[in-house]
């Protein structure tokens, strides 16, 4: 099913421009029969062909790129899963994205905004309920009003109050009024400050994800030999990250990136990776670095001239929270909520220190090789474990063929029949299913 969207879009765009297959093929420098195969999804497109077709059709190359489309499809399926009451036709998501990419992006953007606003509402609700300042202030207001109300009621209804008592009551009311005015000022200032903080409208994780996704998960500035922590500061200052928490998380990830870039410089690492056939154990020995760092570094490598495998990566903490996600075409990673429990990255948590390899068949039709490794960070305290992280490198089985990634892997090795997440997975009989799927048809 992978790569099946560009064909339809090319055909529709060509027709909209009034071009014949022959005319477009000629302009793009390919044969009409090859264009016919592309339009009927019998051939994928990449590289020069993709660029020339995009140019002739007056489309941005990303409009014909399956990576962007697959990511959008995954996000829309998640949107449908988040709002099942709306009965979106989730099983035709691919067609929707293909035919109406603008609308699809709009729906996805709106879904993101709805989620962010829901989170903001929850946070505000929590704040109103539990904020110590608001709790104290409300108590103060009620106390002052009680004093004023009780005193004024006496002054208004009791005719024979002695003069000295009346004078004291009036003074009390005056004092309480002044205190109430102070509380009102503090409350106003409190909400003014909250507005000035300019709360971000997206989640910190999403901001950080966007920051890295826009850079295709690679930060050339940190690959430079002279890069240091001031480079990170400059990157953050120049970034569009708005929330304090998002900046903090981005800084943590960039610091880890810098550490990896120093330990495994890109050029020699890429050369060694090719030479060893992407043998992670050999690379770990050669560079004297831990396996998880090798896995993360491999996910930063880009294809050169269309050669070499392309990697995705997932890392989770001990609670299963997705800490890092580098998407790979055909292997969607849920942006929110739990991923498939069968992903080897979860199994790896039970076997820290071991590097495991699995074949994973996704419900969407792709076959992938995964390498996983979980490890504890040092807690610095005797008797207490540090944070446990599990890292999973993902590579298309086709890309991995002939490399060390598949060396020794018997053909009859059982594959893990996994999905993306239960709600968008069509495997009805899965023993690990945690909740019903929103789709029954094959994706």
User: What does the binding site for another protein look like in residue numbers (CB under 8 A)?
Assistant: 138-139, 142-143, 145-147, 149-151, 153-154, 157-158, 161, 165, 168-169, 172, 175-176
CB of 151 to another protein, least distance (A): 5
Q: How far is the CB of 190 from another protein (least distance, A)?
A: 19
Q: Find residue 43's DSSP bridge partners.
A: none
The rounded Cα 301 to chain-centroid distance in angstroms is 20
Contact at 8 Å (CB) between 437 and 423? yes
Tokens of 97: 């994205």
- CB of residue 169 to another protein, shortest distance in Å: 8
Question: Which C-beta is closer to another protein: that of 153 or that of 259?
Answer: 153
Q: How far is the CB of 160 from another protein (least distance, A)?
A: 9
Buried b (16+ CB within 10 A) or exposed e, 239-278: bebebeebbebbbebbeebbebbeebebeebbebbeebeb
Q: Looking at beta carbons only, is 178 or 224 nearer to another protein?
A: 178
**CB of 159 vs another protein, minimal distance in Å:** 12
CB of 171 to another protein, least distance (A): 9
Q: Which of 150/231 has CB closer to another protein?
A: 150
CB 150 → another protein: shortest distance, Å? Answer: 4
Q: For residues 106 and 128, which CB has a smaller minimum distance to another protein in the complex?
A: 128
Residue whose CB is less far from another protein, 146 or 413: 146
Rank residues 174 and 442 by Cβ distance to another protein and give the closer one. Answer: 174
By C-beta, is 128 or 434 nearer to another protein? Answer: 128
Q: Order of strands across the sheet with 355-362?
A: 322-326, 311-317, 388-396, 367-376, 355-362, 416-418
Considering the complex, state which of residue 4 and residue 172 has its C-beta at the smaller distance from another protein.
Answer: 172
Nearest approach, Cβ of 181 to another protein (angstroms)? 15
Tokens 């904020």 identify what position? 131
Smallest gap from Cβ 367 to another protein, in A, equals 55
CB nearer another protein, residue 174 or residue 189: 174
Q: How far apart are CA 124 and CA 120, in angstroms?
A: 6
Q: Least Å distance between CB 399 and another protein?
A: 59
Nearer to another protein, 114 or 154 (CB): 154
- 49 neighbors 82 (Cβ within 8 angstroms): no
């Amino acid at each position: 099913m992978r790569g099946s969207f560009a064909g339809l879009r090319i055909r529709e765009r060509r027709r909209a421009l009034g071009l014949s297959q022959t005319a477009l093929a000629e302009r793009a420098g390919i044969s009409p029969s090859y264009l016919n195969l592309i339009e009927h999804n019998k051939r994928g497109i990449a590289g020069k062909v993709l660029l020339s077709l995009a140019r002739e059709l007056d489309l941005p190359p990303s409009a014909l790129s399956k990576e962007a489309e697959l990511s959008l499809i995954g996000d829309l399926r998640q949107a449908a899963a988040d709002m099942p009451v709306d009965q979106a036709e989730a099983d035709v998501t691919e067609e929707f994205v293909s035919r109406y990419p603008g609308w699809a992006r709009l729906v996805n953007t709106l879904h993101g905004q709805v989620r962010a606003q829901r989170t903001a509402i929850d946070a505000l609700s929590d704040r109103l309920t539990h904020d110590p300042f608001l709790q104290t202030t409300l108590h103060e207001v009620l106390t002052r009003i009680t004093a004023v109300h009780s005193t004024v009621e006496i002054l208004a209804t009791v005719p024979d109050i002695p003069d000295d008592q009346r004078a004291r009551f009036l003074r009390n009311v005056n004092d309480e009024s002044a205190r109430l005015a102070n509380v009102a000022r503090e409350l106003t200032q409190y909400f003014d400050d909250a507005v000035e903080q300019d709360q971000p409208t997206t989640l910190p994780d999403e901001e950080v994800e966007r920051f890295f996704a826009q850079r295709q998960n690679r930060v050339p500035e940190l690959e430079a030999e002279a890069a240091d922590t001031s480079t990170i500061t400059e990157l953050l200052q120049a970034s569009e990250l708005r929330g304090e928490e998002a900046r903090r998380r981005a800084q943590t990830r960039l610091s880890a990136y810098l550490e990896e870039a120093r330990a495994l410089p890109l050029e020699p690492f890429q050369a060694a990776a090719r030479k060893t056939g992407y043998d992670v154990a050999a690379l770990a020995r050669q560079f004297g670095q831990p396996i998880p760092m090798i896995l993360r570094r491999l996910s930063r490598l880009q294809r050169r001239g269309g050669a070499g495998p392309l990697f995705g990566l997932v890392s989770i903490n001990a609670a299963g929270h997705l800490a890092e996600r580098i998407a790979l075409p055909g292997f969607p990673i849920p942006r929110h909520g739990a991923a498939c429990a069968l992903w080897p990255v979860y199994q790896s948590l039970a076997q820290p220190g071991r590097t495991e390899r699995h074949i994973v068949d996704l419900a969407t039709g792709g076959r992938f090789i995964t390498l996983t490794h979980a490890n504890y960070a040092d807690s610095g305290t005797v008797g207490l474990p540090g944070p446990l992280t599990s890292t999973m490198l993902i590579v298309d089985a086709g890309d991995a063929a002939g490399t060390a990634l598949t060396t020794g892997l018997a053909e009859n090795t059982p594959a893990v029949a996994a999905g993306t997440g239960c709600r968008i997975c069509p495997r009805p009989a899965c023993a690990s299913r945690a909740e019903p799927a929103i789709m029954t048809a094959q994706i």
